[in-house]
Chain A
Amino acid sequence: MKDEVKTDRELLSRLPTLADSNPRKYNKRRKLIETGLAVGVPASLIALWQLGFHYEWIDNRFYASPWEIVTSKKLREAELWSELWTSVQRMLKGFFAGSFLGILLGVLMGVSRLIRAALDSLLTALYTVPKLALIPVFVTLFGFGDLPRIALIAVTVFFFVWISTMSAIMGVEDGYREAALSFGASKWQIFRHVLFPGALPQIFVGLRIAAGVAVLILIGVELVLASDGLGALIEKGRTLFLPELTYVGIALSALLGLTFTYLVRILGRALVPWAPEDQTPNQN
């Protein structure tokens, strides 16, 4: 029954909603909806894609259907997995080298104003150079082996990690630093107990973004400068007129990116249990 209200008055009521009166049921329901969306949206897009083939909206001479990709004979060939493994190795080497250097330089520049003054504008200028444009330079520098490819991935990853590490170190609250200083902590102790752990959550945000970028550059460099690996496979599909091959390559690189960012995220959560989960867009 509704309250009768005089015209010059209005009643605002604060009432429990389902989320308040039965949070367990509400959370369960919400979780169900979220999982449903996370699975349902990609699944229905793939279904639509498959349907497009079925009704011949899409030309099957140039494109492959999801079913063809999943059932592709290519997937059962050992050769494919060795291509994938080649790519994974390149990516991991590049990612670790780049992350290590990025964290190192980010920390040094975050801690020391002098180093920052010396390198900041230089690195910022280099940061804006499209990394694929460096291929000729890297080939001249590192020869025709795997090294220029790995170096390219490393350089790209480096910049992402460097920037987020530096700003994370600089962003650590003064109060934390001062509390350590008041105990007479040395520079190393401040770094080890305050600055580094304080910056770690933000560093992992950088690492996660860099993980995705590493896959981007990996495929890019393999497209133009490799005879093996996923990128080369995609290109081979195009030149040999085998769309199936191209799409297997694309699907695998998407899965690689998904898996890799996810792993970096899990690592982050294990190493920074005190930080709230970050909100950078990602698969859930």
Chain B
Amino acid sequence: MAVKSSNIASTKNRQQSVVRHQASGNFLKAVSAVVWKDLQAEFRSRELFSAMLVFSLLIILIFNFALELDLKTRQSVTAGVLWATFAFAGTLGLNRSMAIEKDRGCLDGLLLAPVDRSAIYFGKVISNLMFMLIVEIIVLPVYSVLYNTNLFLPGLLMVILLGSIGYVAVGTLLATMSVQTRTRDILLPILLFPIVIPVLLAAVKASDGFLAHAELSEILLPINLLIAYDIIFLAVAFMVFDNIVEE
């Protein structure tokens, strides 16, 4: 009993010590912490970024040599080739991003933090989106040179941003699911591509419209669809993420 009393007393003393945990945590601070951690780790290893970039460049090179198209046809396939490139490279990045969390048990470390678990999801979405956008920024001028097509159109850049948000929003959620399975490398694309088809279709349609200098009224529908998909995917992921990460 004496031992127990002294233990309780020392517990109380400790509770009055300098450090005291903040039970509530803070959503935005947690989101920014996850983003900071991902950027810092990637800055050191460059594993994820270099894999995505090299893979993207290889795809556009292969398409360039394989298709041998004339200028007009090249322009007409640009949207499709671009989005196929982004989708494949994105899968590689999403898989790697979550594998890093799983391999050393870090996902458990994240889940043990006293924050709303959707903060972890949004943190991962933002960092994955940043990696994807950086790769896209590098791929676009390379594509422009190889295919002799101007891709620096404000409307097209906006579509790339919207499409990437939708892709990463659903991809991060599914990568979190697939990384917990033994077949994670092959499971992610099998799960992701059927679900992300609406985003890719709308993005290709809208990109095609901007590249063909179509009327805004013709492009508005796919853009609205992209915005709607982004909101829906983010909202659904926000609601189900907690259940997905729990056993």
Are A and B part of the same complex? Answer: no
Q: Which residues of A contact B (CB under 8 A)?
A: none
Q: Which residues of B contact A (CB under 8 A)?
A: none
